[in-house]
Amino acid sequence: MRKVPATVITGFLGAGKTTLVRHLLEHNQGRRIALIVNEFGDIGVDGQLLAACGVAGCTDDDIIELANGCLCCTVADEFLPTMQALLDRPNPPDHIVIETSGLALPKPLVKAFHWPEIRSRVTVDGVVAVVDSPAAAAGRFASTPEEMARPDHDNPLEEVFEDQLACADLILLNKSDLLEAAALEALRSGIAARLRPGVKTLPTRMSAVDPLVVLGLSAAAEEDLAARPSHHDAEDGHDHDDFESFAVFLPMVDDPAVVEARAIAAIADHDILRLKGFLAVTGKPARHVIQAVGTRVERYFDRPWKADEERVGTLVVIGRTGLDRQRIEAALQGL
């Protein structure tokens, strides 16, 4: 029996994973792709954005959200039953794409493909790491020499980034539009030097890459785990205390630009790694998406509110543990 190929998409918060998934769905070349999306935190913004993607042949049934938990640590309870249900469908998908949360380590997930229940039916075609190139070039995931010198040195951002690169079969250097050619090349050669032999890097803009390159790596990654070192090999898991996430609710707003300005100020004042969600705008029948990574904010209306949806704004805030939730909430609510 031919095994169903599965592609694991990893990459730090805001790197462009959902953008890549949308691109793959839009250019599916006749393949029926099922998607499993896992997010950090209780509210699945990515799943909701993808459900609104409107790609022909891609139904809500094909998009499965595993919110509220870290996929790599809830493998037995959530991931395996989901995979089994997908494979047991009368008409199973041609390809399964798994978008992990930006804080997840890919290796424990790849390891899960060894489970007897699924091992004979599915294989990890490849692990694709999406890199936020300007953030990486700015040293966002590297420790400073002072940090390195500390005996208790521990940088969770760096560890997550390194684990994602070490497990990858293909690296997309995304957001290439935001870097000069020389800086992009310096980043590329720096990253290439840290990769397993044969792992390619590819600059991308809006994660636009030929799906034939991404889907069809035939890596059988689950057979090759020893070559993919992880910071957490010994513990077989990772520390969830490093990061936290919460949701902020906003009443209907007259002008979304005001919330954008508040978000920029909150990100400048607090160690927020990612902010994303939806706004309800007075007089507008459509939901307004707001996405912030670092100082960059993107906003657009994506789809009309459904009749049974409450028209309120929901912003998900993700950062290092210790965020001042009260002050961030007040700042975003304009209090």
Ligand X SMILES: Nc1nc2c(ncn2[C@@H]2O[C@H](COP(=O)(O)OP(=O)(O)OP(=O)(O)O)[C@@H](O)[C@H]2O)c(=O)[nH]1
154-173 as b/e, with b when 16 or more CB fall inside 10 Å? ebbbbbbbbbbbbbbbbbbb
**299 in contact with ligand X (CB under 6 A):** no
Query: Token digits for 149?
Result: 């010198």
The span of 23-31, 112-120, 121-129, 173-181 binding ligand X (CB under 6 A) equals 173-181
Contact 34, 46 (CB under 8 A): no
**Closer of 187 and 293 to ligand X (Cβ):** 293
Contact 25, 55 (CB under 8 A): yes
Within residues 65-124, the interface with ligand X by CB under 6 A covers: 102
Run of H or E including 274: strand 272-279
69 φ/ψ sector (left φ>0, alpha ψ -120 to 50, else beta): left
What span, in angstroms and rounded, lies between the C-alpha atoms of 61 and 181?
41
For ligand X, the binding residue among 6, 15, 24, 184 (CB under 6 A) is 15
For ligand X, the binding residue among 177, 210, 239, 309 (CB under 6 A) is 177
Which of 266, 251, 249, 258 has the alpha carbon at shortest distance from 323?
A: 266
**293 in contact with ligand X (CB under 6 A):** yes
**Closer of 42 and 233 to ligand X (Cβ):** 42
| Shortest spacing between CB 184 and ligand X, in angstroms | 12
For ligand X, the binding residue among 4, 6, 13, 110 (CB under 6 A) is 13
Residue number of the CB closest to ligand X reads 102
Quick note: the x/- pattern for ligand X over 123-162, rule CB under 6 A, is ----------------------------------------
The site for ligand X (CB under 6 A) is made up of: 11, 13-19, 46, 102, 174-175, 177-178, 205-207, 274, 276, 291, 293, 298
